Amino acid sequence: MAAKQKLMSVRRDWRERDVRVVLVALVIAVATVATIGLFASQLQRTLVSSASSFLAADRQLESENGRPVPPGWLEEARDRGLETGQMIEFSTMVFGETGFQLVSVKAVSDEYPLRGEIEIQPGADESRSIVDAGPGRGEIWINPRLLRLLELEVGDSLEVGNLELTITNLLIREPDGGFRLSSLAPRVMIHVDDVVGTGVIQEGSRVEYIYLFAGTENLLDDYYQWLQPQLEPSHEWEGVRDGETFSRSLERAERFLLLGGSLAVLLAAVAVAVASRQYALSQRDTVALLKTLGLPSKGIGRLYLRRLALWGLVGVLGGLLVALPLFWVLVRLLSDVLEQPVDFYLDPSALVPALLTALVSLFAFAYPPIRRLRHVAAMRVLRSQPGETGREAIPDMVIAIVAVFGLVWMYAGEISLVISLLGGLALLLVALALLGGLMVAALRQVRGGGNAWRLALVGLYRHRRASMAQMAVFAMTLMLAATLILVRTSLLDDWQAQLPDNAPNHFLINIAPDAVDDVEAFWADRDAPLDTVYPMVRGRLTELNDQPVKEAVSKDERVGALNRELNLTWMAALPEDNEIVAGSWFTPGETEGVSVEAELAEQLGLVLGDRLTFTIGSETVTEAITSIRTVQWDSMRPNFYMAFPPGGGLTDMPGTWITSFHLDQSNKVALNEFSRRFPTVSVLEIDHIIERIQQIVRQVTQAIEAILALILAAALVVMAAVVSATLRDRQREGALLRTLGGQQSLLARSTMLEFALLGFFAGVLGVLAAEAAVYALQVRMFEGGFSWHWQVMLPIPVISAVLLALFGRWQLRPVLSVSPMLLLRRLE
Amino acid sequence: MNQMTDLSTSDTSPMLRVTDLAHRVSLETDTLTILQGVSLEINRGESVAIVGRSGSGKTTLLGLLAGLDTPTEGTVALDGAEISSLSEDERAKLRASRVGFVFQSFQLLPALSALENVMLPLELAGIDAPEVRAKELLVRVGLGERLNHTPRQLSGGEQQRVAIARAFASDPVVLFADEPTGNLDNRTGQDVSDLLMALNREQGTTLVMVTHDEQLAARCGRQLHIEAGILTEPESARERAH
């Protein structure tokens, strides 16, 4: 190999400590960012498709005006390569041998469900099974409650309108049934082609046509672009992202992953900057020699530029080599947790940030000090020249800061993230300058001596510039790591709080007012006490300030709440997870007024004092708004748009009661007895949904832990880079000290102490800055409250002190293990 | 190589011409004069020793003669080229084609083998088949068996032999040596200086050497003394030179 080529070979470079640090930092940065990018992309896809089963499709188009959509819409979807399906939902009476019952009919086409599955039971005592298609023509699947209400058996026939259908299965669970509380009547499922035969649907019937779509996100988006201009206000396009349950958790997980990625970028940038500056310093002799041998500065520039490009290549390839298996493991974990195979989804666009990270780290951080190598004087071969003053590096630092924050911004897409981190760092530097001044003043008083403490303090003072620089980098690294740990902790706590193990997983709906006490007693006896039981009255909002609501609210507002009956309630106490944002909650004894959910209030432009008129059956109730409150829709508890005070306008309206409660798997048999004793009460089993959400949260948690581990590794690399930077000087000093008679143990102890002090102060500063950054992040990005985190924070300075002390001791081991003579010669 | 020899024999102008050279360094408060009033001519094929104590300015003078640095005042012409008027890159080019160096601390690149260290200037000067020429030279300096050893695996004397091979690799017309035996024991120093002198004769190179070793200086055709930045030449030596 030609000597010049060999000068640039990565294998040769690898032998240099500083290059190793640069390469490792690059590999970690690329690996972290690529893993996060790939996994976030996969996670979103998997969760969307896993959550898609809640819609039985990727998207639903609902037509709430009682008319089907033009057939051309579906043809267009199929032409574009989308799968489609159809459902019709309506209420009607069914007639059995012994009586009749109002049911909620869902008529499904052959393709239903496009996503998810149906759970059925061929008989009351038979085992349940999972199928992926609905009933065929002539069949009807019914809710077990109906079986009891009409004293039917599987195999009996049931009349729906003009048509007689055979009961072939009990319908236990439908993929898209879980969250709609609006249909209180027992569910039956038939084939869509039987609907016409029933003759139930007439002009003006209340019927919903629902169309199902499935396909890639791109196809769906394109189709929606095409469809959107043709939609009428009564048409509603629904995707999982619009659903309440998943989106918040998912969004926060994504933000966390992005934050992690951003911090990885920052840490890598710091490591690359420190190591390449060190590398550039070590290359000055080589450059001087090459110049002496006749290589012009342009040639020097090219030589090092090509070397940087090579590093970049190695960093990217190495990073991908780490990222891909890691990604593979994470996806395998994901499919384990979801108990279903997950298709790998290698999104090439997810790799772009990783490549950009490598590029920016190299060119904004590594290149500037290396570029200045061109100015090394050839005369250096004969005699050492004055070194850099550091002033030359100032424009580089400005470029670097702008570049890296630009990168973080592009990457996380959050200016508040950039500001939070920048603010934290600025604070850190101010604190560091203050502490540094104090420390230098205090250390000046210390006189040398044979004591390890004194030696350590003198060491700190003697290297005060290097010490301050090291402390700045350590503190910054610790701040970034601590920020991530803090955000992770609060995120996980938050999720845990949101869905604790004893979260309600069953709803009881349609409890007759006089049965409430019995129902409560039934479950209390079985150690499954009910949450608050709420009355529920179905009513429509018809007037706003004595004007018809459809006129009062602008036509553009497609507020679903106006198109259907709302669940109204009355309650004395504000539910724990609700929060008043305007006005005040009912005082005891107050019987007037209504409390409105905040988002709906905003959509309708409602303010305190507005008068709302509800039509309930044939009656109307009018109340003024006395408070506006937020509601946790994903709390798995009954939630209401409108709440009245006890004894208020709703009290005498016909209604039923609703509640939720937690029922252990082992206790589920009690449901059978319950259904026998309270045949009219609907039980909505959402335990499988909760379980799935908890699984997903666990999975995301694992991913977050993996990312955290990667970031902490990056932090360690930064620290190693910084310690290594002064290694030669320290080794030389150590060797001299030993030559002059310093004992090994003294040297070891003073070095460890020196590093421990550095680590401790850096830890304190880093933790304080992290608290500041987390405060800003939490308030702005994660919408959480802020509290101090002493339990997380206290150990960090101690851990950093211990780690650095050990690391310093380890770095010094060549000085301690060989004879001073040999050492001095080696260091020459 | 032949071309170079032709050039040096046909051209009778001096290899180095120094006129009124002065070099000063600005310190924080005042200016330090390192060299002043240096004028000098060195002919082709001459071997010249510059002798002086530490701090006398001899290394600075060597750097200026070789075009590693530019003087504060005065001019240096190397092989007819006015060094002080050249840009740094032009000077680098001049060094690549006409100048060789031997240093006190060898200055081998630790990551390259002996062979690669010698090949490096050949590659930089764009000479064909650098490996053949480099091997020839290493065999000539007695290291034919150690081509692939890195500097760490070589003794000081061996390292300096590699450096000498490297210095002659690109057929320089002038060779600058800075205390070439300064880091070696007497015996090894003797061997190395023998080699340097022999190669110099064989190649017909002009040699400019800085040393405080009187014995080594005595082996050169001409000796210059430098003290406190002022160059003097003993009468006898000057006569011999002209």
Claim to verify: residue A117 and residue A196 sit in the same structural domain: yes
Identify how many contiguous H helices and E strands chain A contains and give both numbers. Answer: 28, 22
Q: With an 8 Å Cβ cutoff, is A7 touching chain B?
A: yes
CA gap A307, A310 in Å, rounded: 5
CA gap A594, A627 in Å, rounded: 7
Of the candidates A683, A661, A686, A688, the residue with the CA atom closest to the CA atom of residue A672 = A683
For chain B, the first-to-last Cα distance in angstroms comes to 27
CA gap A223, A81 in Å, rounded: 10
Quick one: tokens of A743?
Answer: 């004992």
**A68 located within any domain:** no
Of A286, A377, A378, nearest to B109 by CB-CB distance is A286
Asked if the Cβ–Cβ distance from A4 to B117 is below 8 Å, we say no
**A223 located within any domain:** no
Asked if the Cβ–Cβ distance from A295 to B92 is below 8 Å, we say yes
Reported as a single tens digit per residue, the pLDDT across B94-108 is: 888 889 999 888 888
**A158 located within any domain:** yes
**A472 located within any domain:** yes
Claim to verify: residue A174 and residue A259 sit in the same structural domain: no
Claim to verify: residue A303 and residue A419 sit in the same structural domain: no
Handedness of CA A285, A287, A293, A297 (dihedral sign): negative
DSSP state of A61: E
Domain residue limits at A741:
415-500+686-786+798-828
Question: What ipTM was estimated for this complex?
Answer: 0.85
3-class DSSP assignment, residue B6: helix
Quick one: tokens of A675?
Answer: 């259904």
Asked if the Cβ–Cβ distance from A294 to B97 is below 8 Å, we say yes
Using an 8 Å Cβ cutoff, are A44 and A332 in contact?
A: no
Claim to verify: residue A516 and residue A636 sit in the same structural domain: yes
Tell me how close the Cα of A9 comes to any Cα of chain B, in angstroms: 10
Size of interface A-B (CB pairs under 8 A): 88
pLDDT grade, residue B41 (50/70/90)? Answer: very high
Of A12, A285, A297, nearest to B111 by CB-CB distance is A12
Q: With an 8 Å Cβ cutoff, is A377 touching chain B?
A: yes
Reported as a single tens digit per residue, the pLDDT across B159-213 is: 999 999 999 988 899 999 998 988 888 888 888 889 889 988 888 899 999 988 8
Asked if the Cβ–Cβ distance from A297 to B96 is below 8 Å, we say no
CA gap A414, A252 in Å, rounded: 13
Chain A residues with beta carbon closer than 8 angstroms to that of B55: none
Check if CATH label 3.40.50.261 holds for domain B2-241: no
Asked if the Cβ–Cβ distance from B68 to A379 is below 8 Å, we say yes
- Between β-strands A534-544 and B222-227, what pairing exists: parallel, antiparallel or unpaired? unpaired
Claim to verify: residue A513 and residue A541 sit in the same structural domain: yes
Task: Kindly state the helix (H) or strand (E) to which residue A370 belongs, with its residue range.
Answer: helix A367-371
Claim to verify: residue A347 and residue A298 sit in the same structural domain: yes
Using an 8 Å Cβ cutoff, are A323 and A38 in contact?
A: yes
Task: Kindly state the helix (H) or strand (E) to which residue A272 belongs, with its residue range.
Answer: helix A244-282
Claim to verify: residue A644 and residue A718 sit in the same structural domain: no
Quick one: tokens of A407?
Answer: 């990168």
Site from A6, A284, A290, A292 to mutate, B interface, most B CB atoms within 10 angstroms: A292
Claim to verify: residue A33 and residue A20 sit in the same structural domain: yes
Of the candidates A633, A695, A636, the residue with the CA atom closest to the CA atom of residue A663 = A636
Residues of B with CB under 8 A from a CB of A: 59-60, 62-63, 66, 68-69, 88-89, 92-97, 99, 101, 103, 107, 109, 111-112, 115-117, 119-121, 123-125, 130, 170, 178
Asked if the Cβ–Cβ distance from B111 to A7 is below 8 Å, we say yes
pLDDT of residue A240: 60
Quick one: tokens of B211?
Answer: 């040393």
Domain-wise residue ranges, chain B: 2-241
Question: How many Cα atoms are found within 13 Å in the side-chain-facing hemisphere of A414?
Answer: 22
pLDDT, averaged in runs of 10, over chain A (828 residues):
61 71 83 82 67 72 83 92 91 84 88 85 82 92 81 89 91 67 70 90 78 86 89 77 52 70 76 80 85 85 86 90 87 70 75 85 84 83 66 74 79 74 80 81 69 75 75 82 78 70 82 89 89 86 83 58 75 87 88 88 86 86 91 77 86 84 83 78 74 70 74 74 70 73 77 86 86 74 62 81 85 71 60
Asked if the Cβ–Cβ distance from B121 to A294 is below 8 Å, we say yes
Asked if the Cβ–Cβ distance from B120 to A293 is below 8 Å, we say yes
CA torsion B167-B94-B176-B54 (nearest 10°) is -130
SS3 content of chain B, % helix, strand, coil (to 5): 40, 25, 35
pLDDT grade, residue B74 (50/70/90)? Answer: very high
What DSSP string describes A590-619? Answer: ----EEEEHHHHHHHT--TT-EEEEEETTE
CA gap A283, A294 in Å, rounded: 17
**Closest chain A residue by Cα to residue B128:** A2
- Of the residues A619, A654, A685, which one is the last residue of a structural domain? A685
- Of the residues A685, A704, A726, which one is the last residue of a structural domain? A685
Q: Is A687 exposed, middle or buried (0-12, 13-18, 19+ CB in 10 A)?
A: middle
- Of the residues A212, A237, A268, which one is the last residue of a structural domain? A212
Claim to verify: residue A512 and residue A596 sit in the same structural domain: yes
Chain A residues with beta carbon closer than 8 angstroms to that of B101: 292-293, 381
Claim to verify: residue A270 and residue A168 sit in the same structural domain: no
B106 residue type, one letter:
F
Tell me how close the Cα of A395 comes to any Cα of chain B, in angstroms: 25
A585 residue type, one letter:
W
Handedness of CA A490, A492, A496, A498 (dihedral sign): positive
Asked if the Cβ–Cβ distance from A4 to B123 is below 8 Å, we say yes
Claim to verify: residue A162 and residue A250 sit in the same structural domain: no
Give the Å distances, CA to CA, from A504 to A186, A529, A572: 22, 10, 21
Quick one: tokens of A393?
Answer: 């590096």
Alpha helical stretches, state H, A619-686: 670-677
Asked if the Cβ–Cβ distance from A292 to B95 is below 8 Å, we say yes
pLDDT of residue A242: 44
Asked if the Cβ–Cβ distance from A381 to B103 is below 8 Å, we say yes
Quick one: tokens of B169?
Answer: 């690799």
State phi, psi for A208 to the nearest 5 degrees: -115, 125
pLDDT of residue A84: 93
Chain A residues with beta carbon closer than 8 angstroms to that of B147: none
Chain A residues with beta carbon closer than 8 angstroms to that of B63: 379, 382-383
pLDDT of residue A183: 47
DSSP state of A365: I
Chain A residues with beta carbon closer than 8 angstroms to that of B171: none
Claim to verify: residue A735 and residue A815 sit in the same structural domain: yes
Of the candidates A777, A779, A773, the residue with the CA atom closest to the CA atom of residue A423 = A773
Asked if the Cβ–Cβ distance from B124 to A293 is below 8 Å, we say yes
Q: With an 8 Å Cβ cutoff, is A8 touching chain B?
A: no
Looking up tokens 């303090």 gives A457
Tally of domains in chain A:
4
